[in-house]
Copies of this chain bind each other. A is one copy, B any other.
Amino acid sequence: MPIASAALLARAMPSPEWRDLPEMCLSDLARLAELRSFTQDAELNGSIFIVLDGLIGSVRGVLSDRRAVTALFLRGDLVDLSATPKDDRDGLLTFRPTRALAFATSDFNAAMQQHKELALTVCANLKRQSFNLREHAAELFTKAPDQRLAAFLLWLAQISAGDQAQPGFELPMRRYDLARYLGMQPETLSRKIKTLTAEGAISQSSPSHLVIESRSALEAMASGLRRVA
Which A residues contact B (CB, under 8 angstroms)?
58, 60-61, 64, 66, 68, 70-71, 80-85, 87, 89-90, 112-113, 116, 119-120, 122-124, 126-131, 133-138, 140-142, 183-184, 224-227, 229
CA distance A83 to B227 in the complex (A): 12
What is the distance, in angstroms, from A182's C-beta to the closest C-beta of chain B? 9
State the oligomeric state as a number of copies: 2
Cβ–Cβ contact A83 & B124, under 8 A: yes
What is the distance, in angstroms, from A160's C-beta to the closest C-beta of chain B? 20
A-B contact pairs, 20 of them (CB 8 A): A60-B134, A61-B142, A66-B142, A68-B138, A81-B131, A82-B127, A83-B124, A83-B127, A83-B131, A83-B229, A85-B227, A85-B229, A90-B134, A112-B120, A116-B116, A122-B123, A126-B130, A129-B130, A133-B133, A140-B183
Cβ–Cβ contact B112 & A113, under 8 A: no
Which residues in B have their C-beta under 8 angstroms from that of A116? 112-113, 116, 119
CA distance A90 to B226 in the complex (A): 12
Cβ–Cβ contact A138 & B70, under 8 A: yes
Cβ–Cβ contact B119 & A68, under 8 A: no
CA distance A86 to B115 in the complex (A): 30
